[in-house]
Amino acid sequence: NAGVTQTPKFQVLKTGQSMTLQCAQDMNHEYMSWYRQDPGMGLRLIHYSVGAGITDQGEVPNGYNVSRSTTEDFPLRLLSAAPSQTSVYFCASSYSGRHGSGYTFGSGTRLTVV
């Protein structure tokens, strides 16, 4: 049981390049989300999904796209990288439901945009 797997662990991009951060979970969780973590800012929600085919925006969605074609995968696409997107990105998953449940986090992708 791998939990939540994020790839790559580290990435350096040039301004204007695009890339996809991968996230996969093997726990059959319906709920998946992407956060970015910047020093002194805590975690901020980028996009989330409550199930395959359903996505919604979080607090800081600009410059990012997501899709959810399967329950297992939730990739995050950077359309045209900017230095302001230098951050650590975390993917998380959980059971959905009215009563809520704890999130399982991946180990993160550290992205630097130069």
Site residues for other proteins per CB under 8 A:
4, 31, 33, 35, 40-45, 48, 50, 58-59, 90, 92, 96-108
Distances (CA, A) of 3 to 27, 50, 96, 104: 6, 18, 16, 7
Best CA proximity match to 56, nearest among 33, 75, 36, 35: 33
Q: What angle do CA 24, 26, 30 make, to 5 degrees?
A: 80
Q: Which is nearer to other proteins, 13 or 48 (CB)?
A: 48
Q: Which is nearer to other proteins, 92 or 113 (CB)?
A: 92
CB of 85 to other proteins, least distance (A): 19
CB of 31 to other proteins, least distance (A): 8
Q: Which is nearer to other proteins, 13 or 23 (CB)?
A: 23
